[in-house]
Amino acid sequence: MADEKRSRSVRSALWHDGRVRLALGLVGLIVAAELLSNWSPAVESFVITTLINVMIVVGLYLLIGNSGVVSFGQISFMALGAYMTGLITVEASRKEFLLPDLPSWLSSLHLGTLPALVIVVVLVGLIAALVGIPLMRLSGLSASIATLSLLIISNVLITQSSSITGGNQTFIGVPVTTTTEVALVGAILAIFVAIWFRRSRIGLLLRASRDDEPAARAAGVSVTKERVVAFGISGALIGLAGAFYAHFVGSFSPDDFYFEITFTTLAMLVVGGLYSLEGAVVGALLISTIQEMLGRLENGEGLGPIHATLHDGVTAIVLACIVIAVMIFRPSGLMGHRETDDVEPADEEDRPAPVVPADDPEAAT
């Protein structure tokens, strides 16, 4: 009986070890992605889109979850990553035809996908950090409104820079190189970067300022500096997701990086849990799946034995209702504050017994 109890306690403790959950979750993600991608081209497209969403939401979590600053402008860096990798990887002859007014040095530049991705991560991260210097001096609603302004400004710049981006026209000709395996590597990389940042000294100081900013400043924490670092790393991850997206669809327009994807990805984070990396991944997977199912019904494609056709806009209404329900009944999200590196006692009996002073007979009784 004692051996069985000990064995159950060990199994329960292993399950509550965040590192074990992380390993099992990653293995499950890899296996599921590989199996589903072999199902059909449509399912493969859904898997890749979902993994890119995971990258975006994890990038949002890295900033919002650690700093508490809700940013509506991170998709600007997704757009920057997409257009930047497009300008670098599209063939020179095609750029001369599509963008005749492009500067000569940029028109003749042509690199492979991997070097382009490295350049995108570095440059977008630096640009995000520079933009974050004034923005991250703000807190609360002021910071959120300022980042929303960033999203609007970036969209206007893209649409008005027709000689470089093509303006409102669709940017075409990007090599399609994002496969399921590539998207998997990107999603896992984003998860490990988020774990590394959370465990770092900067991440710890940032969460201290999130929980009590005046106290953190009084203790000597440079809140603005920590937020700028998080803003830059978050921008780099989301810029990389934008590059993966560009190399997945091959063509895109400014509207692909505006309000719709901004609020959809934020909804994923809210549903999963603003302050939980596990929640970010779960929210991205759950909302992406719901979107895919309802989108198929809206398009009249059917869903297995279900052949009903939904009116346009039903998907947006359902997602909005889900967000409202979660905020009412589960304000901290589906996963609460659970983190991948948390180690929790599995059962009440596994918790350490309180220490009772030997000279306190009343406490002992």
Which string of DSSP letters, residue by residue, matches 129-167? Answer: HHHHHHHTT--HHHHHHHHHHHHHHHHHHHHH-HHHH-T
* The two three-digit tokens of residue 28, written as one number: 């499950």
Structure confidence at residue 315 (pLDDT): 85
220 phi and psi angles, rounded to 5 deg? 100, 10
The answer to whether 57 and 283 are in contact (CB under 8 A) is: yes
pTM: 0.85
Burial readout 189-205 (b: 16 or more C-beta within 10 A, e: otherwise): ebbebbbebbeeebbeb
pLDDT values of the chain reduced to their tens digit, one per residue, 365 residues: 555 555 555 444 444 545 666 666 666 667 677 667 667 788 888 889 999 999 999 999 999 999 989 999 999 999 999 999 999 999 888 888 888 888 888 888 888 899 999 999 999 999 999 999 999 998 888 999 999 999 999 999 999 988 888 888 889 889 999 988 899 999 999 999 999 999 899 989 999 888 888 888 888 888 889 999 999 999 999 999 999 999 999 999 999 999 999 999 999 999 998 898 888 998 999 999 888 888 888 776 766 666 667 777 888 898 999 999 999 998 888 887 766 555 444 444 444 444 444 444 444 44
Burial readout 46-83 (b: 16 or more C-beta within 10 A, e: otherwise): bbbbbbbbbbbbbbbbbbbbbbbbbbbbbbbbbbbbbb
